[in-house]
Amino acid sequence: MSADVQLDNVWVKFGDFVAVRDASLTIQGGEFFSFLGPSGCGKTTLLRAISGFQHPSTGRILIGGKDMSGIGPNRRPTALIFQNLALFPLMTVWQNISFALEVKGMNKKARRKKADELLELVALPGQGDKMVTELSGGQKQRVAVARALCAEPEVLLLDEPLSALDLKLRQHMRTELRAIQQRAGITFIYITHDQGEALTMSDRVAVMRQGVVDQIGDGTTVYDHPETAFVASFVGENNSFSGTVIEITDGLACVQTECGLLRSRTSSAAPLKKGDDAVVFVRPESIHFCGDDTRRDENGLVATLAHQEFEGHFWHLALKTESGHDIRMSVMNDGRSEVHEIGASVPVGFSTQGAIALAPGELAAD
Amino acid sequence: MRNWLRTFLARNGIGLSVYMLGAVALWVIVMIILPQLFMLDFSFRNNWQQIDPSRMGGPDDVYTMVNYHFLAFGSPNNPDPFNVVDVTVFFRTIVAAIFVTLFDLALCYPIAYYLAQVARGGKARLLVLALIIPFWVNELLRAFAFRILFGEEGTINAILMGIGVLSDPIDFVREDVALYAGLGYAYILLMIFPIYNVIESLDKNQIEAARDLGSSWWRIHRRVVIPFAKPGITSGCTMVFMLSAGALAAPQILGGPSSLWFTQIIYQWFNTGSNWPRGSAYAIVLMLTCVLLVLILMKLFKVKIGEIGR
Ligand SMILES: Nc1ncnc2c1ncn2[C@@H]1O[C@H](COP(=O)(O)OP(=O)(O)OP(=O)(O)O)[C@@H](O)[C@H]1O
Ligand SMILES: [Mg+2]
């Protein structure tokens, strides 16, 4: 069973401080939905509001179409996996997992059986009699998932559960979680500040900034079609060029910047008009070297190579334009790309489609 | 042990090590072991000092069970099968001390939980002050104040009669209510702080996790908070039990005329009875019983002695 979750104009305030500002969105039943945002943007607060530990100051939360106001966390069809897991250290693994059944008064034998099934599901067969303190980080992680699933929630809420794990294990657990979600068929609401995590696992991502949900969409939409400057700068890397819109035609913008006239796409969700201030965002991987044959729809720049890093499949280059603007650029190491000396002056360019002009706004801190 | 000694020496140097070990040894021997050994020795001797000082150190001055025998069976011309007065008082004291301990536990656990997990900042500090400041008043004064409060013409009776709940005053002192209240109140801090200390270190998320999984408040306490707080509960109970079983001033002042506390009998042997050997024997029986009870309790609740120190 899975239920949809609907937020209607939800605000959460701590005194004068607004932690969540007017969040309205619907998460479909069975969806893997992520909230992505920097530390302190209100992700945990929003999740606690959904699970019932935090009352919204105003607004409503509906789960499966039912208004949740006045319903405590123990009576909501949600299960929360805490940022620090919060396993019970004085209970064994199987007792942890079957705690929700113990609450319901199920007898010990049935509980044990269910716990063993769930251990199977999270790939920890036969570990039921260990104490949780004897488990590794990744195993604890899985026990926490099993404990939450045991409550047979319609919505599983996960608060950065992978942040404490090392990179390898994290990548492994991502696939695992995704697989568990598809097997269990329930709604997952996942919180993270790691964009790679959000993009690889989720059906849809909501990008949050200081309590505000800036944009909701699937991974490619959020990455390729950002609607605010914050989303463009927070999800993936981006170069930015500030300027003024000179002309708008057919959804294409011409922006006068300190690096010259740049042409780019615009976002239909956040239209610009002539005379507006704007920022042109270009991904490092959209920039390439170009010779004298710059095509008509291309933007061209001349910059000096300041620094380069080799990452195996990519070269990461740092360039500086004549006007002193820093540009980051990634070049695929496919054996065809040119090699330049540090300090060399190189012509680079990017296509109109590879750039997007958005209204200026807060940028993500690097 | 030898390894430990070596690292200890290496870390602190010879001079400091000898000084520290010496100080600790002196403390343990002079303050703890020696006095108890003297008492133990006393308890197995006749009271020749009072009966006939000339026989001290003589051939009659041998170890004897006479004092323990007296506690159990009374004087040779006691018509009863056992020493009714002393044995009754002994068991009543133990049971009453257990009762006081349970009462304190029931009273203090919620306070400790509230302080550790619910109250924040200013409110918590205010509550702690309210708990501590009354203990600036010394023990005797507090006991006499309780007498005024609980006496036949005391405040509580006055109020109860004033609002018409009672027509005749109840003698709370005679009924031992004053004694239990006084003893219970005297040791609440010793119960609250060990429990508070442990619950304070319990991750709030565990409580929320249990709640999120559908648990009622009652079950959260039974399955999550109390198991975690067990060392603190045990150490609080141990202290309150030991101290109330061994209390003297409160029973002296607040006890009803008919109800002796076992410590009062011990005190009488030492003081008015001038029979130190017998007093020692009584005191040792009380001490050993209390220690035994605590050890049984710890075994029962599976608490190790090391955990209590935390
Ligand atoms: N109980 C509270 N009282 C006051 N302020 C709070 C409280 N809980 C959270 N906040 C504030 O709300 C903001 C959002 O906090 P929240 O824990 O939701 O952040 P987050 O997005 O989960 O961050 P992180 O990624 O670091 O976990 C923070 O500025 C925080 O200081
Ligand atoms: Mg958080």
Q: pLDDT by residue (tens digit) across A68-117?
A: 998 999 999 999 999 889 999 999 999 999 999 999 999 999 999 999 99
Mean per-residue pLDDT of chain A: 90
Kindly tell me if the per-residue pLDDT of B291 is higher than 90: yes
Mean pLDDT value of segment A240-254: 90
Chain A interface includes B227 (CB < 8 A):
yes
Residues in chain B with CB shorter than 8 Å from the CB of A53 are: 208, 211-212
Pairing of strands A260-266, A252-257: antiparallel
Q: Separation of B205 CA from ligand 2 center, angstroms?
A: 13
Mean pLDDT value of segment A34-46: 93
Q: Look at residue B151 in the predicted model and tell me its pLDDT.
A: 84
CB A327 within 8 A of CB A316: no
Q: Which helix (H) or strand (E) holds B159?
A: helix B155-162
Chain center to CA of B196: 19
Mean pLDDT value of segment A34-43: 93
Nearest beta carbon to residue A79 from set B213, B227, B228: B213
DSSP A123-151: T-TT-TTSBGGGS-HHHHHHHHHHHHHHT
Q: Domain boundary at A189, A224, A259, which? A: A224
Task: Kindly state the tokens that stand for A317.
Answer: 């280059």
Kindly tell me if the per-residue pLDDT of B58 is higher than 80: no
Q: Within this chain, do residues A191 and A292 fall inside the same structural domain, yes or no?
A: no
Mean pLDDT value of segment A234-251: 91
Nearest C-alpha in B relative to A73? B212
Q: What percent of chain A has pLDDT over 90?
A: 61
Q: How far is residue A31's CA from residue A4's CA, in Å, rounded to a whole number? A: 8
Contacts by residues A9-13 (CB-CB < 8 Å, ≥ 24 positions apart): A9/A58, A9/A59, A9/A60, A10/A46, A10/A49, A10/A56, A10/A58, A10/A59, A10/A60, A10/A61, A11/A56, A11/A57, A11/A58, A11/A59, A12/A42, A12/A45, A12/A46, A12/A49, A12/A54, A12/A56, A12/A57, A12/A211, A13/A57
Q: Within this chain, do residues B7 and B82 fall inside the same structural domain, yes or no?
A: no
Mean pLDDT value of segment B292-310: 82
Mean per-residue pLDDT of chain B: 89
Q: Within this chain, do residues A194 and A295 fall inside the same structural domain, yes or no?
A: no
Contact (CB<8Å) A84/B203: yes
Q: Look at residue B53 in the predicted model and tell me its pLDDT.
A: 79
Q: Within this chain, do residues B227 and B107 fall inside the same structural domain, yes or no?
A: yes
Q: pLDDT by residue (tens digit) across B244-287?
A: 999 998 888 888 777 789 999 999 999 888 889 999 999 999 99
B159, with CB counted inside 10 A (0-12, 13-18, 19+), is exposed
Nearest C-alpha in A relative to B204? A86
- Those residues whose C-beta lies under 8 Å from the C-beta of residue B260, and which sit 6 or more positions away, are B85, B89, B251
Q: Which helix (H) or strand (E) holds B6?
A: helix B2-26
| CA distances in angstroms from A171 to A174, A200, A276, listed in the order given | 5, 10, 42
Q: Look at residue B110 in the predicted model and tell me its pLDDT.
A: 95
Mean pLDDT value of segment A310-316: 87
Q: Is the CB of A209 under 6 A from ligand 1?
A: no
Task: Kindly state the tokens that stand for A227.
Answer: 């609607």
Q: Which of A298, A285, A267 is nearest to A328 (CA)?
A: A285
Q: pLDDT by residue (tens digit) across B80-111?
A: 888 888 999 999 999 999 999 999 999 999 99
A303: three-class secondary structure by DSSP:
strand
In a mutational test of the B interface, the residue from A14, A75, A88 whose CB has the highest number of chain B CBs within 10 Å is A88
Q: Look at residue A359 in the predicted model and tell me its pLDDT.
A: 92
Q: Look at residue A295 in the predicted model and tell me its pLDDT.
A: 59
Q: How confident is the model at residue A210 (pLDDT cuts 50, 70, 90)?
A: very high
Q: Which helix (H) or strand (E) holds B291?
A: helix B276-300
Q: Considering its fold, how many domains does chain A have in total?
A: 2
In a domain, A175, yes or no: yes
Contact (CB<8Å) A72/B209: no
Q: Within this chain, do residues A306 and A182 fall inside the same structural domain, yes or no?
A: no
Mean pLDDT value of segment B7-19: 87
Q: Domain boundary at A200, A224, A248, which? A: A224
Q: How confident is the model at residue B66 (pLDDT cuts 50, 70, 90)?
A: confident
Q: Look at residue A62 in the predicted model and tell me its pLDDT.
A: 95
| CA distances in angstroms from B83 to B68, B70, B232, listed in the order given | 11, 7, 38
Minimum mean pLDDT range among A129-138, B55-64, B88-97 = B55-64
Q: Look at residue B79 in the predicted model and tell me its pLDDT.
A: 86
Q: What is the CATH number of the domain that holds B302?
A: 1.10.3720.10
Q: Within this chain, do residues A296 and A204 fall inside the same structural domain, yes or no?
A: no
In a domain, A103, yes or no: yes
Q: How far is residue B7's CA from residue B17's CA, in Å, rounded to a whole number? A: 10
Residues in chain B with CB shorter than 8 Å from the CB of A102 are: 223
Q: Within this chain, do residues B278 and B166 fall inside the same structural domain, yes or no?
A: yes
What residue owns the CA closest to ligand 1's atom 30?
Answer: A40
Q: Within this chain, do residues A218 and A251 fall inside the same structural domain, yes or no?
A: no
Rg (CA), chain A: 24
In a domain, A342, yes or no: yes
- Those residues whose C-beta lies under 8 Å from the C-beta of residue A56, and which sit 6 or more positions away, are A10, A11, A12, A20, A49, A69
Q: Within this chain, do residues B27 and B101 fall inside the same structural domain, yes or no?
A: no
Q: How far is residue A253's CA from residue A246's CA, in Å, rounded to a whole number? A: 8
Kindly tell me if the per-residue pLDDT of A297 is higher than 70: no
Residues in chain A with CB shorter than 8 Å from the CB of B227 are: 90
Task: Give me the interface pTM, i.e. the ipTM.
Answer: 0.81
Q: Is the CB of A55 under 6 A from ligand 1?
A: no
Between CA B276 and CA B34, with CA B238 as vertex, the angle to 5 degrees is 35
CB A91 within 8 A of CB A30: no
Q: Within this chain, do residues A115 and A199 fall inside the same structural domain, yes or no?
A: yes
Q: Which of A135, A163, A159 is nearest to A148 (CA)?
A: A159
Q: pLDDT by residue (tens digit) across B133-162?
A: 988 988 888 888 888 888 888 888 888 888
In a mutational test of the A interface, the residue from B198, B211, B213, B304 whose CB has the highest number of chain A CBs within 10 Å is B213
Task: Kindly state the tokens that stand for A303.
Answer: 């910059």
Q: Which of A243, A221, A260, A250 is nearest to A357 (CA)?
A: A243
Mean pLDDT value of segment B220-236: 94
Q: Domain boundary at A224, A250, A265, which? A: A224
Q: How far is residue A206's CA from residue A222's CA, in Å, rounded to a whole number? A: 9
Q: How far is residue B273's CA from residue B264's CA, in Å, rounded to a whole number? A: 12
Q: Within this chain, do residues B38 and B86 fall inside the same structural domain, yes or no?
A: no
Residues in chain A with CB shorter than 8 Å from the CB of B209 are: 80, 82, 86-88
Domain ranges, residue A14: 5-224
Nearest beta carbon to residue A79 from set B212, B215, B227: B212
Contacts by residues A312-318 (CB-CB < 8 Å, ≥ 24 positions apart): A316/A284
Q: Within this chain, do residues B124 and B21 fall inside the same structural domain, yes or no?
A: no
| CA distances in angstroms from A362 to A22, A193, A232, A234, A257, listed in the order given | 18, 17, 10, 10, 18
Q: How close, in Å, is residue A259 to chain B by CA atoms?
A: 52
CB A321 within 8 A of CB A230: no
Q: Look at residue A292 in the predicted model and tell me its pLDDT.
A: 61
Mean pLDDT value of segment A207-231: 94
Q: How far apart are the first and last CA of chain A?
A: 41
Q: Within this chain, do residues A65 and A184 fall inside the same structural domain, yes or no?
A: yes
Q: Look at residue A137 in the predicted model and tell me its pLDDT.
A: 84
| CA distances in angstroms from B197 to A87, B113, B230, listed in the order given | 21, 10, 11
**Residue A301, strand partner residues:** A348
Q: Within this chain, do residues A123 and A256 fall inside the same structural domain, yes or no?
A: no
Q: pLDDT by residue (tens digit) across A139-161?
A: 898 899 999 999 989 999 999 88
In a domain, A294, yes or no: yes
Kindly tell me if the per-residue pLDDT of A250 is higher than 70: yes
Q: How confident is the model at residue A294 (pLDDT cuts 50, 70, 90)?
A: low
Q: What is the CATH number of the domain that holds A58?
A: 3.40.50.300
Q: Look at residue B310 in the predicted model and tell me its pLDDT.
A: 57
Q: How far is residue A175's CA from residue A72's CA, in Å, rounded to a whole number? A: 32
A205: three-class secondary structure by DSSP:
strand
| Top-confidence range, A335-339, B163-167, B241-245 | B241-245
- Those residues whose C-beta lies under 8 Å from the C-beta of residue B224, and which sit 6 or more positions away, are A88, B202, B206, B207, B210, B215
**Does the pTM of the predicted model rise above 0.80?**
yes
Domain ranges, residue B287: 77-308
CB A158 within 8 A of CB A100: no
Q: Look at residue B300 in the predicted model and tell me its pLDDT.
A: 87
CB A153 within 8 A of CB A187: no
**Among all chains, which residue has been given the structure tokens 């004092």?**
B67
- Those residues whose C-beta lies under 8 Å from the C-beta of residue A81, and which sit 6 or more positions away, are A144, A145, A148, A156, A157, A158, A159, A161
A295: three-class secondary structure by DSSP:
coil
Helices and strands (DSSP H and E) totals, chain B: 17, 0
Q: Considering its fold, how many domains does chain B have in total?
A: 2
Q: Where are the beta strands (DSSP E) in chain A?
A: 5-14, 17-27, 32-36, 58-63, 66-67, 78-81, 155-159, 187-192, 204-209, 212-217, 239-249, 252-257, 260-266, 277-282, 288-289, 298-310, 314-321, 326-332, 345-351, 355-358
In a domain, A365, yes or no: no
